[in-house]
């Protein structure tokens, strides 16, 4: 009954397909139409699509980057198809897990996926279950229960039901009441006082020592707390699970220090005076940030391969063909295209198709970048260089161009300008939960302090439990690295907080006013993590930005999630525009790309984010210590991408 079933990679390689008995029509047309009009445009909402007389159902497997498509005549009602497609997906994944994990397109091409028998067995089972579930024939009125009832019995039943209904309603109301009461109990305690927290203010030296001693004993001696009461615990606001990232081998750094998302870590910290948990001091970071490091040893090598000889253009030394890094990775696939000839668009198309697959694999912005490159590549004289090196050069230049900031972002200079105007320079950080807003805000504070500025951190994440404590811990640590004694008795960083449950826009406003009065140079506004499609929270963020007009709105996104980060950024921007009350809404001005140390060669997100929104990557987070903050080195990033 199925016309066809096909499994292919997101790069377009067909791994396996099945054509129903007696079906003569090719299914390439309908599948191509599905890819063009649904999958490439990311409209994959309801997982079904109609093409002429065919119904197509499809499923995306994001882990292995596969697409499963089944087609059947649209006049048929096949109730089992959804479950069947799930079953095929599971079986196919299980069976070819190892091959799929290798992911490289060429490896997939070389594999033969013998899936016919398993598929037929699954299809038989699905069809059998479909038949078993086919709808029962309709009963006649005489067979129905209603025909047995007298009018009287119906009236009685109705009365009874009414009673039940009422009691039901009553129950609902009581439940509502209880819920309302519960809400009152659960409402987070609002902290009335405004504290400008700065270590153990207000305590004498003896008291501080006593407090620390108590904390030490509590930490080291305490047995697990006994359960004293059996009453249900009041429900806390959902706490974000503490993340621990594996650092990729590249950086070689340990995952120490900056994870204060665990509130115990923040409050009970006994080594407050110590900069890092291992006692090491962060390196100092005055001046401009160092550019992000990628393995870019062959950065500018354009390799030409003619008559079996390999030479490096722009570098006079010859290298062995094995060492020709420029042709490693995705450029390996261009080897067959060498030679000196004039290039036409037709020559470029297959190369760019492969490149498109590759870019999708490294999570950058799909086809559009290829189109851009195609335009760029045409500007080159193709006669002298081989196809591969021409394409490589064009690609490299285009990607570097994409990553170059279109606007000048020079925070140190802008802070100085603001100083002259006797006002604080305000940066607001936004993004979804757990991407590293607070951590990177602390790193940026460190960098600003190292450059001689004072910082006020506004704790405007008034929602997530532990958010304020996390910032307080950073504030203490930063002050212990730059003690007030070295800064004329003035703490270089302070925290402006009002606890939880308050209006974030209001707190930001008070913090900015406080910073102006107290002559702080910079205000860094931390905001609560929110999902890009949560309308009320996005409205609140738009309000915070509209009311406070920060100098810079930075979107924090983790490089780790690839295209998902691009999606977040686009939707954040869109939501800020949609939910702003003003005609000229303030949008995102720049990006903080975090967890860059965890992505190996998957640097495509960086390119996609900048290409799609045109916003510069202002900071790159490369780890969990205060030093792990970099600026973007476009060439190095592009080079890493090309080597992948």
Residues that bind ligand GDP (CB under 6 A): 243, 245, 247, 258-259, 261, 431, 433-440, 529, 594-595, 597-598, 621-624, 628
- Min dist CB 145 to ligand GDP, Å, is 57
Do 613 and 639 contact (CB within 8 A), yes or no?
no
Give Cα 264 distance to the centre of its chain: 27
Quote the tokens at residue 220.
């080291």
- Min dist CB 398 to ligand GDP, Å, is 27
CB nearer to ligand GDP: pick between 427 and 435: 435
- Min dist CB 63 to ligand GDP, Å, is 22
The backbone region for 9, taken as left when phi is positive above 0, alpha when psi lies in -120 to 50, beta otherwise, is beta
- Min dist CB 250 to ligand GDP, Å, is 11
- Min dist CB 196 to ligand GDP, Å, is 21
Indicate the pairing of strand 48-51 with strand 309-313: unpaired
CB nearer to ligand GDP: pick between 57 and 472: 472
CB nearer to ligand GDP: pick between 304 and 597: 597
Pick from 560, 558, 556, 557: nearest CA to 600: 560
Q: Mark 153-189 as b/e (b = at least 16 C-beta within 10 Å).
A: eeeeeeeeeeeeeeeeeeeeeeeeeeeeeeeeeeeee
- Min dist CB 441 to ligand GDP, Å, is 8
Q: Distance (Å, rounded) from C-alpha 610 to C-alpha 589? A: 11
Q: Distance (Å, rounded) from C-alpha 185 to C-alpha 349? A: 65
CB nearer to ligand GDP: pick between 529 and 604: 529
CB nearer to ligand GDP: pick between 356 and 464: 464
- Min dist CB 206 to ligand GDP, Å, is 34
CB nearer to ligand GDP: pick between 258 and 508: 258
Q: What sign for the dihedral angle of Cα 305, 306, 308, 309? A: negative
Give the residue carrying structure tokens 């253009």.
313
Q: Distance (Å, rounded) from C-alpha 498 to C-alpha 502? A: 7
- Min dist CB 408 to ligand GDP, Å, is 25
Do 494 and 198 contact (CB within 8 A), yes or no?
yes
CB nearer to ligand GDP: pick between 392 and 630: 630
- Min dist CB 464 to ligand GDP, Å, is 7
| DSSP structure string for 235-259 | PPPPPPPPP-PPPPTTT-----S--
- Min dist CB 499 to ligand GDP, Å, is 17
CB nearer to ligand GDP: pick between 521 and 628: 628
Q: Distance (Å, rounded) from C-alpha 387 to C-alpha 231? A: 74
CB nearer to ligand GDP: pick between 10 and 595: 595
- Min dist CB 290 to ligand GDP, Å, is 14
- Residue 619 parent element (H or E): strand 617-621
CB nearer to ligand GDP: pick between 263 and 615: 263
Q: Distance (Å, rounded) from C-alpha 309 to C-alpha 251? A: 35
CB nearer to ligand GDP: pick between 431 and 604: 431
CB nearer to ligand GDP: pick between 85 and 258: 258
- Min dist CB 293 to ligand GDP, Å, is 14
Q: What sign for the dihedral angle of Cα 518, 522, 527, 532? A: positive
Residues 6+ apart with CB under 8 A from 84: 70, 122, 123, 126
- Min dist CB 411 to ligand GDP, Å, is 18
DSSP symbol at 439: H
DSSP bridge partners of 426? 523
CB nearer to ligand GDP: pick between 200 and 277: 277
Q: Distance (Å, rounded) from C-alpha 611 to C-alpha 609? A: 6
Long-range contacts, stretch 132-140, CB < 8 angstroms, 24+ apart: 133/79, 133/80
End-to-end Cα spacing for the chain:
43
């Amino acid at each position: 009954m199925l016309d066809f079933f096909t499994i292919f990679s997101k790069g377009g390689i067909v791994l396996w397909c099945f054509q129903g008995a007696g079906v003569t029509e090719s299914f390439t047309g309908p599948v191509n139409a599905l890819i063009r009009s649904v999958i490439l445009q990311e409209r994959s909402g309801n997982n079904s699509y109609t093409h002429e007389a065919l119904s197509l159902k499809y499923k995306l497997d994001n882990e292995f980057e596969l697409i499963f498509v089944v087609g059947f005549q649209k006049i048929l009602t096949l109730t089992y198809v959804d479950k069947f497609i799930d079953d095929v997906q599971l079986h196919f994944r299980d069976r070819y897990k190892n091959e799929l994990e290798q992911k490289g397109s060429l490896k997939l091409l070389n594999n033969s996926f013998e899936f016919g028998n398993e598929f037929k067995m699954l299809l038989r089972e699905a069809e059998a279950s479909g038949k078993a579930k086919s709808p029962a024939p309709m009963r006649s009125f005489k067979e129905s229960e209603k025909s047995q009832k007298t009018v009287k019995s119906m009236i009685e039943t109705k009365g009874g039901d009414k009673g039940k209904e009422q009691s039901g309603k009553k129950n609902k109301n009581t439940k509502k009441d209880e819920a309302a009461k519960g809400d009152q109990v659960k409402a987070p305690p609002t902290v009335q006082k405004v504290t400008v927290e700065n270590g153990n203010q207000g305590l004498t030296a003896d008291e501080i020592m006593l407090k620390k001693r108590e904390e030490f004993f509590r930490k080291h001696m305490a047995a697990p707390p006994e359960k004293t009461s059996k009453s249900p615990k009041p429900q806390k606001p959902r706490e974000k699970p503490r993340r621990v990232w594996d650092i990729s081998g590249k950086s070689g750094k340990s995952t120490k220090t900056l994870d204060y998302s665990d509130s115990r870590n923040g409050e009970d910290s006994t080594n407050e005076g110590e900069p890092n948990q291992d006692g090491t001091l962060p390196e100092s970071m005055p001046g401009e940030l160092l550019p992000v490091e990628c393995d870019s040893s062959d950065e500018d090598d354009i390799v030409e391969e003619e008559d079996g000889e390999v030479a490096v253009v722009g570098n006079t030394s010859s290298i062995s063909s094995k060492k020709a890094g420029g042709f490693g990775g995705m450029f390996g696939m261009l080897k067959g295209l060498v030679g000196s000839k004039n290039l036409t668009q037709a020559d470029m198309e297959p190369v760019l198709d492969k490149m498109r697959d590759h870019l999708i694999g490294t999570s950058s912005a799909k086809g559009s970048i290829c189109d851009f490159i195609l335009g760029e590549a045409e500007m080159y004289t193709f006669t002298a260089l081989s196809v591969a090196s021409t394409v490589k050069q064009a690609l490299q230049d285009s990607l570097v161009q994409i990553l170059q900031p279109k606007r000048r972002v020079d925070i140190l200079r802008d802070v100085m300008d603001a100083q002259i105007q006797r006002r604080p320079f305000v940066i607001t950080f936004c993004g979804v939960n757990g991407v590293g807003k607070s951590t990177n805000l602390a790193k940026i504070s460190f960098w600003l302090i190292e450059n001689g500025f004072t910082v006020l951190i506004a704790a405007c994440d008034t929602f997530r439990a532990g958010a304020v404590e996390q910032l307080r811990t950073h504030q203490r640590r930063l002050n212990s690295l730059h003690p007030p004694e070295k800064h004329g008795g003035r703490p270089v960083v302070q925290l402006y907080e009002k606890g939880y449950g308050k209006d974030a826009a209001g707190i930001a406003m008070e913090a900015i006013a406080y910073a102006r009065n107290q002559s702080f140079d910079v205000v860094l506004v931390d905001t609560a993590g929110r999902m890009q499609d949560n309308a009320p929270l996005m409205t609140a963020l738009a309000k915070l930005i509209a009311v406070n007009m920060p100098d810079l709105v930075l979107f924090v996104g983790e490089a780790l999630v690839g295209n998902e980060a691009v999606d977040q950024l686009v939707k954040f921007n869109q939501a800020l525009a949609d939910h702003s009350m003003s005609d000229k809404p303030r949008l995102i001005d720049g990006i903080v790309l975090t967890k860059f140390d965890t992505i190996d060669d998957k640097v495509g997100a960086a390119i996609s984010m900048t290409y799609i929104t045109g916003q510069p990557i202002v900071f790159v987070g490369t780890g969990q210590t205060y030093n792990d903050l970099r600026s973007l080195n476009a060439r190095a990033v592009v080079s890493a991408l090309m080597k992948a």
